[in-house]
Amino acid sequence: MTKILKPRLLTREVFAPYGDVVQLEGSKHFTINHGMTERFHDLAKIDVEREGGKAIVSIFQGQSYDFPIQIKMMERHPLGSQLFFPLNERPYLVVVGQGEDKLDPTTIEAFWARGDQGVNYARNVWHHPLLALERTSNFIIVDRDGPGNNLEEVWLDESDYRIISSV
Amino acid sequence: MTKILKPRLLTREVFAPYGDVVQLEGSKHFTINHGMTERFHDLAKIDVEREGGKAIVSIFQGQSYDFPIQIKMMERHPLGSQLFFPLNERPYLVVVGQGEDKLDPTTIEAFWARGDQGVNYARNVWHHPLLALERTSNFIIVDRDGPGNNLEEVWLDESDYRIISSV
């Protein structure tokens, strides 16, 4: 049976079980550089150090998805958080789910992120890989490099979960 | 005597003494997410861990500068690298200089960065604070949080160093 995932607007409150929303609104900030710059400070819990890991910075160039989007696979990173911030000011989708030992597919939910919002998936949180919209888009990534297996994937019945529109 | 700094185009080669240019061209990359994403991997030397430091992610909202730009002050961070990537696809200026114990002002040089290029100042490299152009612009920052004094500033004779145009 097909389940339609209707994306909700991304806010700190709705995303709290999964990690951080990286945005200016509601963030602590202060003035630096003798008045010329406002620093919105320490916006995400960068959790990458266990088992000899360290933070690295990468850019993901994500092909865009067309609707309807089938959620075929979800993944998680057992050893570290993973932060995405869009570099082209374009909205994108975020799909997450819950489950300790394994993903509980009934918990999968979708969020629509503005082009000025980033997300930081907490360590071990199930999420869909990057879902760019409209056209190929770049995102800056802060995640973990280091020893150990930091990727777990689960495949879903292709017909089960679909997103048919952005909001 | 006024010295005019003429910005050069930012490339990895010219910026090598100061740190990393974060860009897609010339970076190692590989395909992930079952073909949907290209990962340009580990693009900068994130050097933040000494003396109990760790990586944090912030957003700087930088007011724009109008030409002529006087270089009145330079700074450096003795304990960690500092990465900037533009979030609005607008070009900006990068001003750096050399000197171990203190800045040698005769080495100050300027670079013009495209809106799809980031810079990562290596630890202890003299640089001017964020120089946004055209209008107020946001940048994502990866730098160090932790104990110790991580800021050193030096003030220059206001009349000495100026940038009068972008390239």
What is the pLDDT confidence band of residue A166, given thresholds at 50, 70 and 90? confident
Residue B167: predicted pLDDT: 74
CA A38 and chain centroid, separation = 25
Inspect the interface and report whether the beta carbons of A46 and B58 lie closer than 8 Å: no
Nearest CA in chain A to B117: A87
- Domains of chain B, earliest start first: 3-163 (2.60.120.480)
pLDDT at residue B135, as a whole number? 97
| pLDDT score for B156 | 92
Pairing assessment for the beta strands A161-163 and A69-70 based on DSSP bridges: antiparallel
Interface test with B, best of A42, A45, A59 (most B CBs within 10 A): A59
A55 to chain B: which residues are within 8 Å by CB?
Answer: 46, 48, 54-55, 142
pLDDT of residue B159: 65
Residue B158 confidence (pLDDT) above 80: no
- From the number of C-beta atoms within 10 Å of its C-beta (0-12, 13-18, 19+), residue B149 rates as exposed
Supply the pTM of this predicted model: 0.97
Does position A125 have pLDDT exceeding 90, yes or no? yes
Instruction: Name B82's bridge partners.
Output: B121
Host H or E run for residue B93: strand B92-98
- Taking the CA of residue B1 and the nearest CA in chain A, the distance in Å comes to 25
Q: Average pLDDT, whole number, for chain A?
A: 96
A69, two tokens = 């989007």
Count of A-B CB contacts under 8 Å? 132
> Using one digit for the tens of pLDDT, what is the confidence trace for B125-154?
999 999 999 999 999 999 999 999 999 999
For residue A166, report the phi and psi dihedrals to the nearest 5 degrees: -80, -40
Closest Cα of chain B to A164: distance in Å? 19
